[in-house]
């Protein structure tokens, strides 16, 4: 049977009919690579052109690259502050989300919690909820606690709305820890807390890092909450602050907005390079599939 397979594939490999799909696929992939990489490269290129070079057209290579647009957006348009704010929101918000999610994930992965169907239902509700539908009451709640237009208020909201996905991701990870490990601890007379703190938590560090990174990126991308719950520019995350780039004043020459949007994604690019394997390795689908 294996001979037949080999023969068949050898014959197919040589024939034109088997080269054709490969050729078509490769061509298609080249086009796709251009479509996905092209815009990014063009924008980076635009961002290092001087005003005069910009007029030479979008495809002209920058002859004398300049970082002036970056200096202008960093100091002139306050991108330093915006990036710092986004960093605060993403760091603290993700920490809160993961912290809230740890024990629930532990319970749902290791124990037979009664009513877990309902808990999963709630988690999915939190996950799927279109945020626009709860803006008004959240706005009201934050106003009641004097948390409108404060960093703390937005961090809390980010933390709570990040929690459901974190529970699923961490639970998915904790399920892979073999039960024998904690069985031994229970036999020794350990309490739930000790098992959680001394056994499961240290073993879950890789999962926590993945969850934290995904949440960090999610908060960095987030826009609606920041737009509605904040008023003063000194609190804006970069997604809200960079809206001003879309105005005729800055769109006369494209290098300034281009530099602004490149800067706004730079921390994520770095994080992406560092963690690409972890965050794209099907961890998300793993969380859903359990």
Ranges within 12-31 binding another protein (CB under 8 A): 21-22, 25-26, 28-29
- Binding part of the chain for another protein, among 66-74, 76-84, 107-115, 200-208 by CB under 8 A, reads 107-115
Three-state SS letters, 76-97: HCCHHHHHHHHHHHHHHHHHHH
- Give every CB contact of residue 180 below 8 A, 6+ residues apart in sequence: none
Residue linked to tokens 């008004």: 136
- Binding part of the chain for another protein, among 64-72, 75-83, 177-185, 200-208 by CB under 8 A, reads 177-185
Residues in 129-148 at the binding interface with another protein, rule: CB under 8 A = 129-138, 140-141
- Binding part of the chain for another protein, among 63-71, 76-84, 153-161, 200-208 by CB under 8 A, reads 153-161
Tell how far CA 52 is from the center of its chain: 36
CB of 46 to another protein, least distance (A): 7
Cα–Cα distance, 257 to 73 (Å, whole number): 8
Site string (227-246) toward another protein, x via CB under 8 A: xx---------xxx-xx-xx
Contact 222, 236 (CB under 8 A): no
Q: Which of 95, 160, 201, 203 lies at the binding interface for another protein (CB under 8 A)?
A: 160
- Binding part of the chain for another protein, among 61-69, 71-79, 117-125, 201-209 by CB under 8 A, reads 117-125
Q: Which of 50, 51, 81, 120 lies at the binding interface for another protein (CB under 8 A)?
A: 120
CB of 24 to another protein, least distance (A): 8
Instruction: Tell whether residue 170 is a contact of another protein (CB under 8 A).
Output: no
CA-nearest of 166, 39, 145 to 96 is 166
Cα–Cα distance, 34 to 28 (Å, whole number): 10
In the structure encoding, which two tokens stand for residue 238, read together? 């970069």
């Amino acid at each position: 049977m294996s001979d037949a397979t080999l023969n068949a594939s050898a014959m197919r490999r040589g024939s034109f009919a088997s080269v054709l799909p490969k050729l078509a696929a490769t061509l298609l992939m080249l086009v796709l690579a251009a479509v996905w990489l092209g815009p990014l490269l063009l924008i980076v290129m635009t961002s290092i052109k001087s005003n005069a070079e910009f007029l030479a057209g979008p495809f002209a290579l920058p002859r004398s690259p300049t970082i002036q647009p970056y200096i202008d957006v960093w100091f002139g348009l306050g991108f330093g502050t915006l990036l710092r704010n986004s960093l605060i929101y993403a760091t603290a918000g993700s920490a809160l989300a993961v912290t809230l999610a740890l024990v629930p994930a532990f319970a749902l992965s290791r124990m037979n919690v009664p009513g877990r169907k309902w808990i999963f239902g709630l988690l999915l509700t939190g996950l799927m909820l279109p945020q626009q539908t709860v803006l008004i009451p959240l706005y009201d709640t934050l106003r009641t606690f004097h948390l409108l237009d404060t960093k703390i208020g937005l961090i809390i909201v980010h933390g709570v709305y990040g929690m459901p996905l974190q529970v699923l991701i961490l639970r998915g990870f904790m399920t892979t820890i073999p039960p024998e490990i904690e069985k031994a601890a229970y036999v020794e007379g350990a309490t739930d807390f000790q098992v959680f703190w001394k056994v499961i938590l240290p073993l879950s560090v890789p999962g926590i890092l993945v969850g934290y990174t995904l949440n960090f990126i999610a908060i960095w991308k987030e826009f609606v909450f920041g737009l509605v719950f904040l008023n003063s520019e000194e609190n804006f995350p970069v997604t809200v602050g960079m809206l001003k780039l879309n105005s005729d004043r800055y769109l006369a020459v494209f290098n300034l907005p281009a530099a602004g949007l490149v800067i706004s994604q730079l921390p994520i690019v770095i994080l992406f390079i560092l963690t690409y394997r972890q965050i794209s390795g099907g961890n998300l689908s793993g969380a859903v599939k359990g």
